[in-house]
Structure 1
């Protein structure tokens, strides 16, 4: 396995000093990258064209933000549930909590499929109990639990054809793959990849490119590994930071 040839050099465009940066989201219409600092309770935005940067204080720990269809704001997965978030001010409006009895759980990472369903993990904030799971939140705000229990679920990511869902058990060192069906159900849970945590760190966030390759961030591993659709390691990108939490694609050529 070799390093990938990159177009240009690795470049740090913003030394934001996040405590726990997560949930990178590229908004094509704005040519902007949004991401959260979970423990720092901030939403950051980097505008690629102008190199402008701005940060917004948030009311509570937030694991992910996703754009709302036909709205100029976000849906956000937070410590106490799901909120609508004004992306300019950070003002949040409570929507729902899928598990009000699990007061130590919080949203950690989430993605949206082509039908508008949000797939998101709820993790145990102190990271000592396996009370977390993978939730599906439908456009009508109904919700269901699909996989668990986990201490810290991560990912998820969905293949371009919407037929495969990838989900991460961070403390278990495993990336799982599921068959994803048009009705929003998943089945055929199988091991896609496994990391040796002592040598490679822990699997964290991931994304899938248009050639069905899976790109996995290594928390404590200073790298991103690229896998084929079959789980074969194709290469890696080494990074000059220890805690790589997630990755995404963006830019004018996307």
Structure 2
């Protein structure tokens, strides 16, 4: 009898929690000084929807939806499926969090227009266009530190609009892994007028990044493109490679 009563009480508590309005739950757990704000939050813990998500004053996602995956509780995780429009591009993936604050992301995929992404970063006027695909197979984040990273960013048909003409740059790829608590991406071209190789390193603790690479124009590149690149990167070396180095804060 006592076992039945205990089971009933546990089921009652779980039912009350998961069917609470998600706005109430968010009010309990959201940090008061968080730079992220949710607008139009509606639904329950089981299924919720957000009209828009903003970082400070910048809208970073719209029409976000959440569907709970209760089996994640067996892994001591509270998680589910998240989908949203980021810079007018669809994003879909699994996100979960542990009781000790570790965030797990898996099977996250997104498809974007580069011009829209640059517009999100307030860089829409630089004339870069093309398509980008995001594939995050695994990502673990805890207290501003990465615990695991396995992802790829693919760029197709990258082009630079300068004056009345579009200059084709080609296709590129960045493979991201974790090295000594830093996010490290290996950069390479996958075809096109511009050859690229190098690495980009992002330190989440210091919020700094370092880009170290080089690029080279192939014979299929527009001759004018060399003059434009020289104006930004300087003269190439004897093998035709332009140095590509930059560092800064995020």
TM-score by length of 1: 0.31
Larger helix percent: 2
Larger strand percent: 2
Q: Which has the larger radius of gyration?
A: 2
TM-score by length of 2: 0.32
